[in-house]
Amino acid sequence: MFGIDNLKITLTFNPFLFFLAIILFVGFTIFIYRYTVPQISRSKKLLLTILRILSLTLLLLAIFEPTVTIIKKNILQPVTLFFVDNSRSILSEDGLNKNQKIFAILDELKKTDLINNTQLKLFGSKVAELNADSIDNISFKEGSTNFNNIFNFVSESKDNISSIVILSDGVITDGPNPIYTAEKNAIPVFAIGVGDTTKRKDIEIKNILCNEFLYAETPTTLSVTILNEGFANRNVNLTFYENDVQIGQKSFALNPDGFQNISIDYTPKSSGEKKLSFSLSTLDGEFNKANNRKVFFINVLSNKVKAVLLAGSPSADLSFIKNTLLEDNNLSVNSVTQIGTNKFLEKNSRERLLDSAEVLILVGFPSRETTTEMMNKVSALISEKNIPYLFILSGSTDLNKLSQLKKDLPFIANNSANNYLEVQPNISSDESKNSLLQNNSSDPITAWNSLPPVYQPFAEFTVKPESEAVAKVKLNNISTNKPIIITRSLGNQRSIAILAKDIWKWKLQTALKNQDVFDRFILNSVKWLNSPEDKKRIQVKTTKKLFALGEEIEFTAQVYDDAFNPISEAEVKVSVKKDKENFELSLNSLGNGLYEGAVQTNKPGNYSFVGEAKLNNKLLGSDKGLFNVGEVDIEMMNTKMDYEFLNSLANVSGGKFFDSNESKSLFKLLSELNLKSSKEKIDTKEYSLWSNEFLLLAIILLFGVEWFIRKREGML
């Protein structure tokens, strides 16, 4: 009845007591209204009896707190989500007529009963609706292809999705590879490939590798990967540009193997964001000349990061760490080593060095000899100037004095003792992409987990909520939850803590194996600590650096106050400039200090922008950046169907790959799958009657009406 499959009423107390109380109330009410003073008519006695019984019953309901549970069963019909690639690569002039094949497949779909259970979607940079009656209007003009957006859409859908169909050439030009997401979704993906996998005569700039951190006036090497098919031993020129100004060129012969890396020396003259581009000379007979050019943006840091080592006493750890830092020409390294109260090994200006520090490295600091004046100085640098630091525990570390820094430490230390435990680092595979842990080993995490034991004080170390335990302790080959390496990034403060001494042993063992675990970790730590990204209160960015003509340029912003609390009421405006043209847009607040906005332009070229945030007409700060529109059409750089990706996507999800001429077989398979994919959805709703305000109003109303009648009749 009414689509309700089950109706259940539950009471807080025993239902027997509820019905017993009702019987008593009914009996009591009949008894008191049997004789009245003065006597009233029988009809009024009956009315008063009913009013009293109803009001007492409702009052009893409120006391027994009844809850009504309604259960409904709904049959969810299966839905097939059909995603059609709307990107420009479909219109590539390769003689394959990929767009016509797509139209033919969609026309075939419309002739089947499957269309009744199918939702058509377009995808490129975003997912959009596609009406079955407007298939002929598909434009194939999207400037990028983001497969990950498909699975974001699927995860938010409330439908009973029986299968996903993707009609595409399989070339990803934006967003991450969705293979892992597809596997987790557990919904079969059926891929229809359009295009050709035949190798054509071509040369291509496949990839460019460079260091994550580049410094002004410091030489570095860029590695350019060149692919060629059918042009072995032909001579080409590779030209290198910075901000569209040629700064180098190299001539070479194409490798018969079809693959080669070309090294290009590069010394940025100044800091800031740079547009770098490489261009290969073209050859007659090339299938695709669009992939002869590669453009990317880098951020060059100011040269020589000033690192100051502050040690509580001389130690092997101090010597090994200092030697590693001195090997990096991008670092200016100085040390302050305490050998007694107000006695130091180096004859330098400690005050000046500490004031100039951009990164602090605390080795066994503070010690028992550390003065209050020195502790106050270091505490001010960390808490007030937000100087990032690397903390390494040592035998000389005084944990009691260290408590002065407890507000800014990434951990809490309790119950310390003079004893030490022999421990090894234990790092989970989840940290395989952590930039701090990378090294030259084929398996960086295994290299870390094979390091020799070091010594950790017998103490209770607790990771603060805003911190992360990158490595935990392995004790006698048994994994524990005790931390050994901790990172902390909170607002504009960064720190790393190594809660063990004698880490120099890591250097000795790995050096024998030609591994750079120790050196890379120390240097990566300094780079991570000095990374400027999180230090800005106002951050304004484009979602990417290269946009296609006509593509929406999306801006995002983050706004914080001095304490790095998010500000959601700011006025954020972005001024965009190209040559002599300027235009401005306002970003919309999303809450929690986040803002977004978009603008569109059909004029190709290099653009710069400046974003400003104001609150009550007061400037909070600004940020700037660069982006490019239309110089490189990423959709035309690779027009060959990526069979490997489409086939893998289908296989990991339990689906199957189909060629474009096999669509009828696919539609038959999907129809059979839909017959087995109906689901029963159970909707359960609970209503707490006792907390309903209408129940209270009804009780008051019933008692009020009874009182009014008794008063009017002059009853006692």
Confidence check: pLDDT of 716 > 70: no
Q: Dump pLDDT digits (tens) for 299-329.
A: 888 777 899 999 999 999 999 999 999 998 8
The Cα–Cα gap between 569 and 551 comes to 29
Rounded CA separation 627/539 (Å): 15
pLDDT tens string 276-300: 999 999 999 998 888 999 999 988 8
Would you tell me the crossing angle of helices 98-110 and 663-675 to the nearest 10 degrees? 40
| Residue 638 in tokens | 């690779």
Average pLDDT over residues 500-522: 87
DSSP 237: E
Report angle CA 415, 417, 420 to the nearest 5 degrees. 120
What is the pLDDT, as a whole number, of residue 4?
A: 66
Q: How many CB atoms lie within 10 A of CB 529?
A: 23
The greatest distance separating any two alpha carbons of the chain, rounded to the nearest whole angstrom, comes to: 122
Q: What is the pLDDT of residue 650?
A: 95
User: Is-contact 128 138, C-beta < 8 A?
Assistant: no
* pLDDT average, residue stretch 106-134: 93
Distance of CA 707 to the CA centre of its chain: 65
User: Which pLDDT score, from 0 to 100, does residue 693 have?
Assistant: 79
Quick one: average pLDDT of 546-559?
A: 88
**Tokens encoding 519:** 């050196």
pLDDT band of 5, cuts 50, 70, 90: low
Q: Report, as an integer, the average pLDDT of 581-589.
A: 92
pLDDT category at 564 given cuts 50, 70, 90 is low
pLDDT given at position 42? 85
Residue 31 has a CB neighbour count (10 Å cut-off) of 9
Q: Which residue, among 204, 214, 201, has the nearest Cα to 266 in the 3D structure? A: 214
Which three-class secondary structure state does DSSP give residue 480?
strand
Q: What is the mean pLDDT of residues 630-659?
A: 91
Note the pLDDT tens digit of each residue in 158-185. Answer: 888 999 999 999 999 888 899 999 998 8
Residue 680: the pLDDT is 64
Question: 670, 666, 662: which is closest to 101 by C-alpha?
Answer: 662
Give per-residue pLDDT as tens, 675-707. 887 666 667 777 777 677 788 888 889 889 888
pLDDT band at 491 (very low <50, low <70, confident <90, very high): confident
* Structure tokens belonging to residue 329: 């020409």
Instruction: Indicate if the pLDDT at residue 560 is higher than 80.
Output: yes
- The 3-state DSSP composition of the chain as helix, strand, coil percent (nearest 5) reads 30, 35, 35
- Residue 65's SS3 state is coil
Instruction: Please tell me the least confidently modeled range out of 23-32, 160-169, 203-212, 686-695.
Output: 686-695
Q: Would you say residue 255 has pLDDT above 60?
A: yes
Residue 577: predicted pLDDT:
93
Residues counted in the chain: 716
CA terminus-to-terminus distance, the chain: 47
Confidence of residue 589 (pLDDT cuts 50, 70, 90): very high
Distance CA 190, CA 658 (A): 7
- 539 pLDDT exceeds 60? yes
Across 186-200, 239-253, 550-564, 635-649, least confident range: 550-564
pLDDT, tens digit (0-9, with 9 covering 90-100), for 425-438 = 999 988 888 889 98
Residue 666 has pLDDT above 60, yes or no: yes
Q: What is the distance between the alpha carbons of residues 89 and 86, in angstroms, rounded to a whole number?
A: 9
pTM over 0.85: no
Query: How many CB atoms are closer than 10 A to CB 410?
Result: 25
User: How confident is the model at residue 2, as a pLDDT?
Assistant: 52
Question: Average pLDDT in the 403-417 region?
Answer: 87
CB 110 within 8 A of CB 102: no
Around 114, how many Cα atoms within 13 Å sit in the side-chain half-sphere?
28
- Which stretches of 562-692 are DSSP H helices? 643-652, 663-675
pLDDT at 501 (0 to 100): 93
Instruction: Determine the pLDDT at residue 709.
Output: 86
CA–CA separation, 649 and 165 (whole Å): 11
214: pLDDT strictly greater than 90: no
Specify the pLDDT at position 96. 81
pLDDT at 330 over 90: no
Q: Is the pLDDT of residue 107 over 70?
A: yes
Residue 124 has pLDDT above 80, yes or no: yes
The overall average pLDDT reported for the chain is 89
Read off the tokens for 223: 């590695």
Q: Which regions of 465-604 does DSSP assign to beta strands (E)?
A: 467-475, 478-490, 493-498, 538-542, 546-547, 552-559, 571-578, 581-586, 588-591, 594-600
535 confidence band (pLDDT: 50, 70, 90): low
* Contact predicate 431/445, CB 8 Å: yes
Q: What is the dihedral of CA 511, 515, 520, 521, to 10 degrees?
A: -80
